[in-house]
Structure 1
Amino acid sequence: MLDSNKLKADILSDMRVELSDEFDRNFERKAFFSDKWKPRAHDYPRGSLLIVTGAMRRSTQGEVSGDGVRFTSSEPYTTLHNEGGTGYKPVKAHTRRSQKGKVYTVRAHKRKFNMPQRQFIGDGPETQRIIRGVIDDNLKHFNLSLTDFIRQ
């Protein structure tokens, strides 16, 4: 007898694993599957694009939540990188020397910047293909087609 709750749990667990692996590979691809990321404005030799320390990549976790899989990160800047947008970088107070040699103090402030989208997690054609593959594999394990499963 088919236990639909076990099948659902297996599908969601497998989706979490497969999507986690593929989203992690996006850092190696420097792309969201085949959509390449925009290159850096300045090519400083501080590591690969989006992988200076690896903290964001390591912090991204998938979890089964209700009827789906949810991906989160403990790093506050993950959403800005994944979705793009405007941010503000704090600038500490410091001193500067003018060209004429005069020393003056720059007050602490925030500098606005625009971050291009460099998506590595999300929905899209490749994500849907992976989800369909996981569902098909789990149904084959029970010798069912999708229409047979829906009828039950």
Structure 2
Amino acid sequence: MSNDFERVIRNILRDIEVELTDEFDRNFERQAFFTQAWQRRKSPTRPGGLILVDTGGLRRSIYSVRKDSSIVFRSDHPAAAIHNEGGEIKVTERMKRFFWHKYYEATGSFGRKKDGTRRNDKRTIQLSTEAEFWKFMALMKVGRTIKIPQRKFIGTSPEVEATVREIIEENITEYFKIDFDINEK
């Protein structure tokens, strides 16, 4: 009986791992933590792009660790904690250099007419807005704080609890159904 119980626990943990890994990944598509929508970005960079998805590194960084009778979901991505919990970061000299780099990168990409003036096409207008954003960021004083809103993508919620409860009930029902069928023979 002990082996059967251990098998049921292993099945439950495996099913939870698979289901919640999929759900946490879908949060990036939903742009929300299940039904709790993420705050929209104020920056004009990547208009229409998915929030928290630039390179996909944060999304791919989610993994799970199984121990005897528990499972923990984690991310080792350097930006995971600040995005998942929200908070403030202080502007550093290094950040300012990065902002200036992004500004020069954006301004160098402007479409130009033959006479050297900027084109007035959609891409150039977008780049102009993006360049202004990076210039604003680069001109911030060292030590000033930037508020990062919480955009939770992993953790507990009523939806997670309901999923876990449903998986446990299904596995236990299946276990007793199999046990019942064996006893009838």
Q: Pick the TM interval, shorter chain.
A: 0.7 to 0.9
Structure 2: gaps (5+ residues): 101-138, 178-185
CA distance in 1, matches of 2:37, 2:176: 39
Per the TM alignment, residue 86 of structure 1 is displaced from its structure 2 partner at its CA by 1.3
CA distance in 1, matches of 2:8, 2:82: 35
Q: Percent identity over the alignment?
A: 37
Question: Please, what TM-score do these two structures have when normalized by structure 2?
Answer: 0.64
CA distance in 2, matches of 1:56, 1:89: 22
Decide which of 61, 64, 88 is 1:62's aligned counterpart: 64
Per the TM alignment, residue 111 of structure 1 is displaced from its structure 2 partner at its CA by 4.4
CA distance in 2, matches of 1:18, 1:116: 27
Per the TM alignment, residue 31 of structure 1 is displaced from its structure 2 partner at its CA by 0.4
Richer in strand (by share): 1
Count of residues in correspondence between the two structures: 133
Per the TM alignment, residue 77 of structure 1 is displaced from its structure 2 partner at its CA by 1.1
Question: What CA deviation, in whole Å up to 9, does each residue of 1:118-140 have, x standing for no partner?
Answer: 01111111001100111011112
Decide which of 63, 71, 74 is 1:72's aligned counterpart: 74
Decide which of 110, 123, 148 is 2:156's aligned counterpart: 123
Query: Highest CA radius of gyration, 1 or 2?
Result: 2
Q: Which amino acid aligns with 1:74?
A: D
Question: What CA deviation, in whole Å up to 9, does each residue of 1:72-114 have, x standing for no partner?
Answer: 112111011011111234333769xxxxxxxxxx9x9454211
Q: Mean Cα displacement is larger for which, 38-47 or 72-81?
A: 38-47
Structure 1: gaps (5+ residues): 96-105, 145-152
Question: Please, what TM-score do these two structures have when normalized by structure 1?
Answer: 0.77
Richer in helix (by share): 2
